[in-house]
Amino acid sequence: MIKIRHPNFPGDYPGIPGVLNAENPEWPTSAEKLANEDSVRDPKFHWAVYVAENTSSNETQIVGMASERHDPGAHREGKFMVNIRVHTEWQGRGVGSSL
């Protein structure tokens, strides 16, 4: 079963790079890098993150993530950038559609 939720930071930082790095290994990231990017993000621009969590086993696992935000370099009110990423092992199972 897949559960969509807002992440609990800082606890969910370690699970998100697994999705991003599996989906795009040419641009590796880490929990530390994500935390740093969030710490310097301009709060005047909208930003939200959602994670898709596999809850069907005893150990929950983040298998996808989505973010929505204003583009600070080309901000237009009411216009957002959306980024959806799904771990390669979970693609084709409806995770991206759920996000």
Higher pLDDT pick, 40 / 78:
40
pLDDT one-digit tens code per residue, 41-84:
999 999 999 999 999 888 889 999 999 999 888 888 888 999 99
CATH number for the domain spanning 60: value is 3.40.630.30
Q: Give the predicted TM-score (pTM) of the model.
A: 0.89
Question: Amino acid letter at 90?
Answer: W
Q: How far apart are CA 25 and CA 85, in angstroms?
A: 12
Residue 15 in 3-state DSSP? helix
Indicate the DSSP class of residue 48: E
- Which structural domain range is residue 77 located in? 2-98
Rounded to whole angstroms, the Cα distance separating 7 from 15 reads 10
Domain count of the chain?
Answer: 1
Among 3, 22, 10, smallest CA distance to 86 is for 22
